[in-house]
Amino acid sequence: MTPTVQAILTDLIRAESVTPDAGPAIDALCGHLAPAGFTIERPVFSEPNTPDVENLFAAVGTGERHLVLAGHVDVVPTGPASAWRHPPFSAAVEDGVLYGRGAVDMKGGLAAMTAAALRFVERRGPHFGGRISFLVTGDEEGPALNGTVKLLDWAVERGERFTASIVGEPTSARELGDQVKVGRRGSYSLTLTVEGRQGHAAYPHLADNPVRGLTQILQALLAAPLDNGTDRFEPSTFEIVGLDTGNAAWNVIPGNAWARINSRYNDKWTRETLRTEIERRIREAIAGDSPTRANQPIRWRVDEEPGNADAFVTRDDALVSTLSEAITAVTGRQPELSTGGGTSDARFIKNFCPVVEFGPVGQTMHQVDERVPVAELEETARIYETFLDAFFPA
């Protein structure tokens, strides 16, 4: 008999797996998949100056039609455990609601996917005319360098070819099934550095304060919107998320100043065209005389951060409609097709096959007392199972 969604999620939450320590949660997941006939492979990937990360590729069935069920077992830190109603890794249930770090993001969706796949294979057997794989990482909440992006290449090098993918992220906004992600905005992170000359704060004429130049550039970058949106996306955003000089002294003019910047951008842009626009605005801001710098040239550079990815929209109508119909069949709701919100590992999967995202209600993700109703978990599993039946017709 297949385990319940609650039982699977309980095992996953009790297996503490704060990024990048994915091993315990992968152990728990394999404990459910292996007995059902899934082949298990657990590649570990590395990158300089980052921790090694263990990942999971588990598959069952043969045939050209191949569905990838994707997700992550790593979770963000809990904060003070004393602030939680129940211990954050206890998976305690109160009034039909299961509490724990990862209950929503995204061990809940992964548990529902697992239960659905196990039930499907139990009913149909391992020879259902296709292939189901779990592509699971421990590096989604971290740098995202040693997870899905490398696991996809690893699988393809071994001959895997993918027809479509569902990522079990918590996409529902207020009620289960009210929203499906059919695309994501791009995410572009960079560090803008302005170089100056360190000196004594009492003798500014002997120094070159980089904060003045950085401020001048940032004002120009924020002066006008990037765009007004497109037919499938909201307007692109441009946010300063960090400022620093590395200087703690009150009497020292710093030698360098830098800003950390993130843009969430729509399909009007690519990483290349967005960087070109940013650099154009910088050059325009510092062209000619600079009254704040006594005509000294502003020395600057832009360094891209890892993990940047372009916006995308999944235009596979059959995939989107099959998932939407499964949601409607179980919940009675017609989901909104959305491209809003943050980013996810779907940004890597879209390079290999059409991908959509669907999972539980995400209102408590990353919060103290993260939680999910057990009934909602079961309903989510039924949606996935209904989708599997339609994707692999008997």
pLDDT of residue 21: 95
Q: Confirm or deny that 72 is annotated as ligand binding.
A: yes
pTM: 0.89
- What gap in Å lies between CA 179 and CA 182, rounded to an integer? 9
Q: Which long-range contacts (CB under 8 A, 24 or more apart) does 88-94 make?
A: 88/370, 89/13, 89/14, 89/16, 90/13, 90/14, 91/9, 91/10, 91/13, 91/14, 93/6, 93/374
Burial letters 244-269, b for 16+ CB under 10 A, else e: ebeeeeeeebbbbbbbebbbbbbbbb
Q: Confirm or deny that 127 is annotated as ligand binding.
A: no
pLDDT of residue 273: 98
pLDDT of residue 289: 47
pLDDT of residue 288: 60
Q: How far is CA 170 from CA 36, 151, 300, in A?
A: 26, 22, 40
Extract the residue ranges of the chain whose pLDDT is less than 50: 289, 291-294
Q: Confirm or deny that 366 is annotated as ligand binding.
A: yes
- Concerning whether 140 is annotated as a catalytic residue, the answer is yes
Residue in the block written with tokens 């050209």: 64
Strands 355-357, 164-167: pairing kind: parallel
Q: Confirm or deny that 41 is annotated as ligand binding.
A: no
Catalytic position from the list 11, 54, 74, 310: 74
Question: pLDDT tens digit string along 201-211?
Answer: 999 999 999 99
pLDDT of residue 256: 98
Could you tell me if residue 82 is left (phi over 0), alpha (psi between -120 and 50 degrees) or otherwise beta?
A: alpha
In the chain the domains, ranked by start, together with CATH numbers, are 5-184+311-391 (3.40.630.10), 190-304 (3.30.70.360)
Strands 66-72, 164-167: pairing kind: parallel
Q: Confirm or deny that 200 is annotated as ligand binding.
A: no
pLDDT of residue 295: 55
Could you tell me if residue 120 is left (phi over 0), alpha (psi between -120 and 50 degrees) or otherwise beta?
A: alpha
Contact 76, 19 (CB under 8 A): yes
Catalytic position from the list 11, 54, 139, 140: 140
C-alpha 37: how far from its chain's center?
29
- Concerning whether 21 is annotated as a catalytic residue, the answer is no
